[in-house]
Amino acid sequence: MTTVALPRARRAVRWDSLPPLVRRTILLMALIGVWQAYVSITHVSHLLFASPWQTTTTLWNDWTNGSLAGPTWETLRILLEGIGIGIGIAIVLTVFATLTTVGSDLLALLTSLLNPLPGVAVLPLAMLWFGINESAIIFTIANATIWPVAINLSTGFKTVSPTLVAVGRNIGLSKLRVITDVLVPAALPHAVSGLKTAWAFGWRTVIAAELVFGVAGSKGGLGNYINNARLYLITPRVFAGLVTIAALGVVFEALFGALERRTIVRWGMQTS
């Protein structure tokens, strides 16, 4: 056997060998560089395009003086209320669907009709019913949340291994404890994926609804903040609002990822 002398690799740092976080940071910096370069070179109107620097200073100022922090917390509060109500109703529907055939048929029908509907599509109706206020937004978010959560939960309960349920009864669990100690944890992977979808749908819906309300002249929320900035041509604020939305998206993705790693990944229960 002969050894083939390979040409010695140059000692440059190879992209693939860098840790993902470093690779992403480098790419992010590069993109910000391109953004800054575009603004500096083309001298695009400041009324239309904010530079990274302007965006950063606006972010810093508006977060420290509360004019961006306030609307952000407002949006998150409305979002959590809407998702909370949505999940609550989804759980009731799922229990009903798990216990009765009528309930199961009803849930299948409702989800097939309402799940494909973009969440924000029911906003006009919600405005008719509740007026231009946060109740209308919460209703819209709840509607966007119920269906994906209910679908996932009922799939989760239906796909629990019958063997595991039999084991639960064999070791002496009461019917109630079979539900809490076997069915619920066994359905957790589906519940988590339902929660992720609920978050994604709700987040899009709340921003869209607030933007619409901004046009209609109401107050509060991130959508409003962005829309007002557009109205007064304070373009850096539009950018700052968008960056905030993107950053929150990243943070929540990370939280869900951590939740999954501590539970279903650790237990080898991840689906797909």
Partner 1 sequence: MAATATDRVSTPVTAPPTGAPLLRLTGIRLGYDTDAGFHLAVDHIDLNVWPRERIVVIGPSGCGKSTLLKAIAGFVEPIAGTIELAGSRSLEPGPDRALVFQEFDQLFPWRSVLDNVAYPLRINGSGRKDAAKRAHEFLALTHLERAAHRHPHELSGGMKQRVAIARALALDPQILLMDEPFGALDAITRQRLQFELNRIVEQTDVTLIFVTHSIEEALVVGDRVVVLGDAPSQIVEVVDVRSLGGPETPEYSEMRGRLRALLAVEREEELER
Contact residues: partner 1, CB under 8 A: 161, 163-164, 166-167, 169-173, 177, 182, 185-186, 188, 263, 266-269
Nearer to partner 1, 40 or 159 (CB): 159
Nearer to partner 1, 99 or 166 (CB): 166
Q: Please, what is the minimum distance in Å from the beta carbon of residue 133 to partner 1?
A: 42
Nearer to partner 1, 19 or 172 (CB): 172
Nearer to partner 1, 81 or 181 (CB): 181
Q: Please, what is the minimum distance in Å from the beta carbon of residue 195 to partner 1?
A: 17
Nearest-Å Rg of the Cα atoms of the chain is 25
Q: Which of 154, 191, 184 is nearest to 168 (CA)?
A: 184
Per-residue burial over 232-265, b if 16 or more Cβ lie within 10 Å, else e, is: eebbbbbbbbebbbeebeeeeeeebeeebeeebe
Length of the chain: 272
Q: Please, what is the minimum distance in Å from the beta carbon of residue 264 to partner 1?
A: 8
136, 130 Cβ separation under 8 angstroms: yes
Q: Please, what is the minimum distance in Å from the beta carbon of residue 152 to partner 1?
A: 18
Q: Which of 259, 176, 268, 210 is nearest to 72 (CA)?
A: 210
Nearer to partner 1, 125 or 164 (CB): 164
Nearer to partner 1, 93 or 186 (CB): 186
Q: Please, what is the minimum distance in Å from the beta carbon of residue 102 to partner 1?
A: 21
Nearer to partner 1, 45 or 170 (CB): 170
59, 240 Cβ separation under 8 angstroms: yes
What is the C-alpha separation between 239 and 234, in angstroms, rounded? 9
Q: At what angle do helices 235-260 and 222-231 cross, to 10 degrees?
A: 160
Q: Please, what is the minimum distance in Å from the beta carbon of residue 147 to partner 1?
A: 27
Q: Please, what is the minimum distance in Å from the beta carbon of residue 199 to partner 1?
A: 23
